[in-house]
Amino acid sequence: MINSLAFRCLLKTEDEGNHGNDDTRCFILSTLASQGRSKVQCVLCEEYMLVFDRYPLVDGTFFLSPRQHAKFCIEVKVEGRMQFLTCVCMGCLEGVTGKAVSCRFCKTRWDGSSLVLGTMYSYDIFAAMPCCVERIKCNSCFKPVLHPAQRLNYFSDYSHMVPCPHCRTLDTHFVKPLGYCYVQRMVRPLSQWP
């Protein structure tokens, strides 16, 4: 099914409106088509989501990360850089009961509710807002890459390779493994009353 969706992408559609960028839509649909997938999995709760051929593309949001957060994130090459197409479901973005995500170190709740649903961000949305000093530490020497009060200009700056001022290691230091940074309490749904 997804193959016909990707094909339809090649045709100019007349009723797109201004809900999103058509290049982004085609990029996602053709990437999924090349993998024979019509569903994606949430990187946090691993729930499956259907991908639609129109905006909103998914009940959640896509983003590109330089790190493969889960084995089901698809490797893509964007502007010469290897990235991974990653998806988070709406429940996890909004932190609905049982899906709230918080920083393992400072306990700050991660809040993705202000992100636009059904589209794609070109940077790692978890790296974009470092909540504490643990999130700005070098992946090699574990000293802070930035001054604790220093912040970068753009959300996307946190997904780029930067040299550590201490050990000079060049890495995407702000993009940490999700399991290292966050805890998510999954509450099992109550069993049916007998």
Residues in contact with Zn ion by CB under 5 A are 42, 44-45, 89, 92, 103, 105-106, 108, 131-132, 138, 140-141, 164, 166-167
Q: CA–CA distance from 131 to each of 45, 62, 89, 121, 151 (Å)?
A: 21, 21, 21, 19, 11
Distance CA 95, CA 42 (A): 13
Q: Which is nearer to Zn ion, 35 or 169 (CB)?
A: 169
Q: Least CB distance from residue 164 to Zn ion, whole Å?
A: 3
Q: Least CB distance from residue 181 to Zn ion, whole Å?
A: 7
N-term to C-term CA, the chain: 41
Q: Least CB distance from residue 58 to Zn ion, whole Å?
A: 11
Distance CA 124, CA 49 (A): 20
Q: Which is nearer to Zn ion, 45 or 76 (CB)?
A: 45
Q: Which is nearer to Zn ion, 76 or 103 (CB)?
A: 103
- How many Å separate Cα 22 from the centre of its chain? 19
Q: Which is nearer to Zn ion, 115 or 132 (CB)?
A: 132
